[in-house]
A and B are shown apart, each in its own frame.
Chain A
Amino acid sequence: MTSFVALLWAQKLIAIAIIFQTLELGLIRETYSDRGVWRWETLKEEFRIFSKFHQSILNFTLNYNSFCILLIIRLVLAFLLLFFSSPIILSLLLVSTILISLRWRGTFNGGSDYVTVLMLYSLTFASFANSSETIENAVLWYITLQIISSYFISGIVKLKNNNWRTGKALKGFLASTIYQDSKLTNYVREKKVLLVVISWAVMLFEVFFVTALLSPQVCLVFLSFALLFHLANYYFFGLNRFFFSWLSCYPAIYYCSSLT
């Protein structure tokens, strides 16, 4: 795989992630309409800390009607990104993602928004570089380091925590998900040994994910585990956005593994 192909795959995968994200936002439009929770009339007070000029831009772009148009434009741009690679498309997607995050006072969905923004500014930078292999490599390494750090840091903070090491944390998280209990979640929550095993499997997977860079073969094994890990996160916690955002980074990780 060349750096160009890795970036192309990353672009297509982030485009798919953005399409799903935008459809979701479109489907919950009642919540940011003029009678919704995040109505602009209430929310605009949050932006009084900005200058009048910036407030007027935000008033123009983030009121309900404009925001719906912004989502439609974003959807079209994401579809275009599936077929065309352009710095303009990527830059506009980046701006729209930041504006959407602002509409939700920073982020709509935490981690998946972080990764979407990370991917978009990295890919925008690479696309402006006019096929310079050095820049492409630098961008792919940057994405790889960020994503491996995301697993590594997440694993380290869990390892330091006694509740995680004893399975108590996982039990608590499973009890407080957005979903109704299922047979599987009840079964896992009641088996202490299973909780400990799963907790340690998660921590070790996250901490040792960095070894995916040792070779493309090892990388494929880790990426397969990563997909299962994110599928499980969807099943237990409803984090479907994380699956698609993180997936878009895997071509970069695979490419970098072939360099080491």
Chain B
Amino acid sequence: MWISESIILMLLLYFTSILLLSLFKPTYIEHRKAYLFRCLFPSWKFYEDLCYEPILFYRSSKDGVTFDDWQQAIKKIPRNWRNFFVNPKGNLIHAYNSLLLQVESDKEDFSGTSVNEFSSSVSYQLAKNLAELLARENNLGGQFLQFKLTSTMQGNSSDYEDTLISLVHKVQ
């Protein structure tokens, strides 16, 4: 009996300490190596609060000067219970969204510098690859491509701001 009481007491202490720790502002490790190995350091704060999420837009041009209208690059997909076990499209969109969040975060580290300088970063290049891939998939015509990230408040599409407008890229 005393064993189960001790276990319950220890559990109580453990979860009380979590509760107390949650009152303090968390500190984040910003080292890039730790970031790359973050699968070893779980964060359990899922869907903590509404936030600004980046949305990718692109537009094409035949001559690199006159562009078509901006179009949202990542389209919402239909639900399907058949994808419950294996959901490649759904998880791919989650991965695209994580990539865009990372691009936005890395862009902040480049604040004060031009898009030209940021364009050499891995994040920018990956976003460019993404825009190109989606342009190919969606048969976006034109020889030139430009993309932008618009930060939009979840659930409030009228609250938005452009956070990155890319250089003009020749479609490969």
**Residues on the B chain within 8 Å of A115, using CB:** 42
Q: What 0/1 readout, one digit per residue, does chain B (128-144) give for beta carbons within 8 Å of chain A?
A: 01100100000000000
Interface residue? A176 (CB, 8 A):
yes
Contact A178 B40 (CB under 8 A): no
User: Residue A178 contacts which of B11, B33, B43, B90 (CB distance < 8 angstroms)?
Assistant: B90
Contact A157 B22 (CB under 8 A): yes
A214 nearest in chain B by CB position: B8
Complex CA distance for A23 and B45, rounded to whole angstroms: 27
Q: What 0/1 readout, one digit per residue, does chain A (222-250) give for beta carbons within 8 Å of chain B?
A: 00000000000011001011010000000
User: Residue B18 contacts which of A24, A149, A164 (CB distance < 8 angstroms)?
Assistant: A149
Which residues of B90-126 have CB atoms within 8 Å of chain A's CB atoms?
90-99, 102, 122, 125-126
Interface residue? A218 (CB, 8 A):
no
Flag the segment in A4-12, A72-80, A106-114, A123-131 that touches B.
Answer: A106-114
B3 nearest in chain A by CB position: A259
Contact B35 A106 (CB under 8 A): yes
**Residues on the A chain within 8 Å of B4, using CB:** 259-260
Interface centre among A28, A107, A153, A180 (most CB of B within 10 A): A153
User: Residue B90 contacts which of A49, A158, A172, A240 (CB distance < 8 angstroms)?
Assistant: A240
Interface residue? B66 (CB, 8 A):
no
Complex CA distance for A213 and B40, rounded to whole angstroms: 26
Flag the segment in B46-54, B57-65, B160-168 that touches A.
Answer: B46-54
Known: A27-B88, A97-B39, A98-B37. A178 touches B76 (CB 8 A): yes
Complex CA distance for A240 and B156, rounded to whole angstroms: 26
User: Residue A238 contacts which of B33, B93, B130 (CB distance < 8 angstroms)?
Assistant: B93
Which residues of A28-46 have CB atoms within 8 Å of chain B's CB atoms?
28, 31, 35-39, 42-43, 45-46
A178 nearest in chain B by CB position: B93
* Interface residues in B, total, Cβ within 8 A: 59
Interface residue? A175 (CB, 8 A):
yes
Interface residue? B15 (CB, 8 A):
yes
**Residues on the A chain within 8 Å of B38, using CB:** 101, 106-107
**Residues on the B chain within 8 Å of A235, using CB:** 79
Contact A173 B85 (CB under 8 A): no
Contact B155 A107 (CB under 8 A): no
User: Residue A240 contacts which of B39, B53, B85, B92 (CB distance < 8 angstroms)?
Assistant: B85
Interface residue? A205 (CB, 8 A):
no
B133 nearest in chain A by CB position: A37
**Residues on the A chain within 8 Å of B125, using CB:** 42, 45
Contact A101 B47 (CB under 8 A): no
Contact B39 A213 (CB under 8 A): no
Contact B48 A158 (CB under 8 A): yes
Known: A149-B18, A178-B93. A169 touches B50 (CB 8 A): yes
**Residues on the B chain within 8 Å of A151, using CB:** 44
10 closest cross-chain pairs (CB), A and B: A172-B155, A114-B42, A238-B90, A27-B88, A101-B39, A150-B44, A172-B154, A153-B44, A175-B155, A176-B154
A-B contact pairs, 26 of them (CB 8 A): A20-B85, A37-B130, A42-B129, A43-B126, A49-B33, A98-B37, A101-B37, A101-B38, A105-B35, A105-B102, A153-B44, A156-B18, A161-B49, A168-B50, A169-B49, A174-B155, A176-B155, A178-B90, A178-B93, A179-B76, A180-B77, A180-B78, A240-B83, A240-B87, A240-B90, A240-B91
